[in-house]
Homo-oligomer: A and B are copies of this chain.
Amino acid sequence: MENDIQKKFLEYVKKINHYKQAMALMAWDSRTGAPKAGVPQRAEVLGTLSAEVFAMSVSDQMKDMLAALDKATDLSDIVKKSKEHCQKTYDRNTKIPADEFKAYVMLQSTAESVWEEAKEKNDFAMFQPYLEELVSYNKKFIEYRGYEGHPYNTLLDDYEPGVFTDTLDRVFAELKTALIPLVKKVSDAKKQPNTAPLYAYFPKENQEKLSHAVLTHIGYNFDKGRLNETVHPFAIGINPNDVRVTTKYNEHDFRVALLGTIHEGGHALYEQNIDHELIGTPLSGGTSMGIHESQSLFFEKFVGQSLPFWKNVYPILKQHAGSQFDDVELEDFYFALNESRPSLIRIEADELTYCLHIILRYELEKGLFEGTIEVKDLPRLWNDKMEEYLGIRPENDGEGVLQDVHWSSGSFGYFPSYALGSYALGYIYAAQMKQAMLNDLPNFDQLLEQEQIGVIRQWLTKHVHRFGSLKKPQEIIADITGKSIDAKPLLSYLTEKYSNLYELS
């Protein structure tokens, strides 16, 4: 009997997974050259498939299976974790009344277009009532769904399971305290890099070849993937045997494609190396946005922006580029590549300043959901914090509080985990992994210099990739480091790297 229910359940989730694979392919296609005129039809087809996935996730059949699995003993680990996953989705999708959710979806779509206009006009007041309503809906949803400790935790949990405000408050405070003075020192440093050669003309065809070469160099398997051009680069795992990377080419800044490809390649390595045993279950993807970003950042920062890596790759770069680097010493190139400079716009920020952009948003979001901050005060608070953290102040709301699309679509809880996962949580994770890795592979730098990235990748596969979503983020970090989430390794890395680069005293 218990085997029966496990088998039935696995077949059911496999069907959901198959629909999701079809949807993932459509998502990839829509951003890699699908015909413009096909947009409305594609949306309809996606709508049909996602409605089906939704219906299956909240069906009576699902409900009964979850109840039966609750009573069953002796479940396999895969079934147990898959069940937890489905239970979470079931709860999320059933606790909010359908009519309220529908109204919310309509609000999202209106709010997005209002935001677009407001941003263009630098007019926060125009967007304010919509943002207020979005926050208020989310507060209600949090009440329906319930929360542990802090109401914001429920939203955080959607992106970074089990990582809550207590952890974020702690690590972000630590980061902030150390980063604000470091950023200031770097800005004031006498020694500054010459970045002019980075912007020389670099033909797209050559950049394509370079991207292919570098992806192969870091161990991306082209039998299980492909590289295509797009406008907003992403990596997507349809299944572990079909993980696609996209990139974009800027002929006057080759870093966009090169570092972007390595970044997306890091995501792709994660997905390509998930255990095949997990295929067809809800566990066959990365476990959280933060852990996902830790892999892309590991490869982008600790590999792609490191000096030992460039000892090998600089000649390859020169081979594909024109003559722009002929007279540039490796060390000067490396310094230019790692330039840091405070800026108002998050998506243009460098690795040293990026975290502060995220912490700013985290503090504002958290305040909104605990009720200590009102929507109308956001523009002022935004600008004050920007000045405090980065020493620059926006001149208008378009380059301030209105710069990101996320709030207009109701994506709260997204910054700390994803984009911050991108540069804070993920970066924190990556630095913790790197520190632990050095215990096993103290010759990390030599491995890079000797083109043995495979050894590094295998370490990550063993400790992170293969588990897919079998482990939660904190579990992965604990199993690797024996500790909880900790900002110190990242701070040491940034302090040392930027002190050396900018010759800070």
Q: Which residues of A contact B (CB under 8 A)?
A: 14-15, 18-19, 21-22, 25-26, 29, 33-38, 40-42, 44-45, 48-49, 221-226, 238-239, 241-244, 279-280
Contacts and interface: CB of A to CB of B under 8 A. Distances in A.
Given A21-B45, A25-B29, A35-B226, 7 more contacts: A15-B48, A19-B49, A29-B29, A37-B241, A38-B241, A40-B241, A41-B279
Number of copies: 2
17 contacts: A15-B48, A21-B45, A22-B22, A25-B25, A33-B226, A35-B224, A35-B225, A35-B226, A35-B244, A37-B221, A37-B223, A38-B238, A38-B241, A41-B241, A41-B242, A42-B242, A44-B280
Nearest to A23: B22
A26 B35 contact: no
Nearest to A16: B48
Contact of A224 (B25, B37, B242): B37
A387 to B, nearest CB: 47
Nearest to A34: B242
B18 A22 contact: no
Contacts of A279: 41
A36 B279 CA distance: 17
Contacts of A18: 44-45, 48-49
Nearest to A225: B35
Contact of A34 (B15, B38, B226): B226
Nearest to A42: B242
A48 B222 CA distance: 26
A241 B15 contact: no
A15 B224 CA distance: 31
A242 B25 contact: no
Nearest to A47: B18
Contacts of A19: 48-49
A435 to B, nearest CB: 34
Interface centre among A25, A45, A49, A241 (most CB of B within 10 A): A45
B226 A41 contact: no
A303 to B, nearest CB: 23
A49 B26 CA distance: 14
A225 B29 CA distance: 12
Contacts of A242: 34-35, 37-38, 41-42
A18 to B, nearest CB: 4
B22 A26 contact: yes
7 nearest A-B pairs in the assembled complex, by CB-CB distance:
A38-B242, A18-B48, A37-B241, A37-B224, A18-B45, A38-B241, A41-B239
Contacts of A221: 37
Contact of A239 (B38, B48, B238): B38
A350 to B, nearest CB: 33
Contacts of A223: 35-37
A19 to B, nearest CB: 7
B26 A41 contact: no
Contacts of A14: 48
Contacts of A44: 18, 280
Nearest to A51: B15
Contact of A26 (B25, B48, B226): B25
A29 B41 CA distance: 18
Contacts of A21: 41, 45
A362 B279 CA distance: 46
A421 to B, nearest CB: 27
A105 to B, nearest CB: 19
A38 B280 CA distance: 13
Contacts of A40: 241
A245 to B, nearest CB: 11
B49 A22 contact: yes
A230 to B, nearest CB: 14
A52 B315 CA distance: 53
Nearest to A36: B223
A22 B29 CA distance: 11
A22 to B, nearest CB: 5
A224 B45 contact: no
Interface centre among A40, A224, A241 (most CB of B within 10 A): A241
